[in-house]
Amino acid sequence: MSRLQKSLERGEFVVTGEIGPPKGINVEATLKEASYLRGRVVAVNVTDNQSSVMRLGSLGVCVRLLQEGYEPIFQVTCRDRNRLALQSDILSAYVLGIRNVLALTGDHPALGDHPGSKPVFDLDSVSLLMAIRSLMEGKDLAGEELDGKPSDLFPGATVTPGADPLEPQLIKMEKKIEAGAKFFQTQAVYDPKVFENFMNQASKFEVPVLAGIVLIKSPAMARYMNENVPGVFVPDSIVKPLSEVSRKDRPKKSIELMAGLIKELRPLCQGVHIMAMGWERYVPELLDACELQAPM
């Protein structure tokens, strides 16, 4: 059983982090980013060609993190692989020691740096979760018996609390749970009232939810997210204070704002998922500011 699974089942307030693989084979900067999360988060997501941009594979970086003593969460998107490759990669991850898997449908390739590439989408996030469950039970999607089964995988999924309308997200969330999702990490959250409304309806599913926090670096970043990321809205209560300080003071102000946000979200959920996006060096200070101690 993974540490993440144990922590959530014990009812602890869990913090997870996230890193993105490099566009190449030099992992030094990636491991440096991960070092700021050491001892402060329970597990670290590794993105899978995030935003449809070609990078070093999530599986390879997950293995490197394992070698360095971290617990990885293997993100798997359906965009680039058919069901043969998806199942094979999940079995490979298990053999290499990875237990946490986050199932994602993935962004369309047209949004990334290889817009002419052919999208696969043989499965989506729900059917991928069904495939993981089948593997855990000892059979592949063709109904063939496995020679050894990955019975203690810990599969998770994502949800967007700020979607409008919200009902389709709740329906999809329930489908993901029925397919085998054991935890959820959310799209970025900045409005506690919106998140509370979501949790009031999602709590009936009795599955741990970790609220997503993308660290806002600047007013321009906030505006970009508001204009381009569906279901995410950064309110003026965050944008205005950032616009009133110098560029040098923005990290300090962002930490102050994000810490206040996490304190408000904490009673509503089972943890937070911090996406620092290059600001990993500020994560320890952020967690100190919101009085989140290192995991036991």
pLDDT digits (tens, 9 = 90+) for 109-160: 999 899 999 999 999 999 999 999 999 999 999 999 999 999 999 999 999 9
CB atoms within 10 A of CB 24: 8
Question: Distance (Å, rounded) from C-alpha 45 to C-alpha 24?
Answer: 19
Q: What is the CATH number that goes with domain 3-289? A: 3.20.20.220
Find the mean pLDDT for residues 99-107. Answer: 96
Reported in sequence order, the residue ranges of the chain that DSSP labels E, i.e. its strands, are: 14-19, 43-46, 72-77, 100-104, 154-159, 183-188, 209-214, 271-275
Question: 1: buried, middle or exposed (CB in 10 Å: 19+, 13-18, 0-12)?
Answer: exposed
Whether the Cβ atoms of residue 33 and residue 261 lie closer than 8 Å to each other:
no
Mean pLDDT for the chain? 96
CB–CB of 79/52 below 8 Å? yes
pLDDT at position 195 is 98
- pLDDT score for 293: 77
pLDDT at 294: 67
Give the pLDDT band (50/70/90) at residue 296. low
Among left, alpha and beta (phi > 0; psi -120 to 50; other), residue 71 is beta
The predicted pLDDT at position 94 comes to: 98
Kindly tell me if the per-residue pLDDT of 233 is higher than 80: yes
Q: What is the pLDDT of residues 172-224, one digit of tens each?
A: 999 999 999 999 999 999 999 999 999 999 999 999 999 999 999 999 999 99
pLDDT, tens digit (0-9, with 9 covering 90-100), for 51-101: 999 999 999 999 999 999 999 999 999 999 999 999 999 999 999 999 999
- What is d(CA 216, CA 205) in angstroms, rounded to the nearest whole number? 30
Tell me how far apart the alpha carbons of residues 69 and 52 are, in angstroms, rounded to a whole number: 28
What span, in angstroms and rounded, lies between the C-alpha atoms of 127 and 208?
A: 20
Domain spans of the chain, in order of start: 3-289
Is 15's pLDDT higher than 80?
Answer: yes
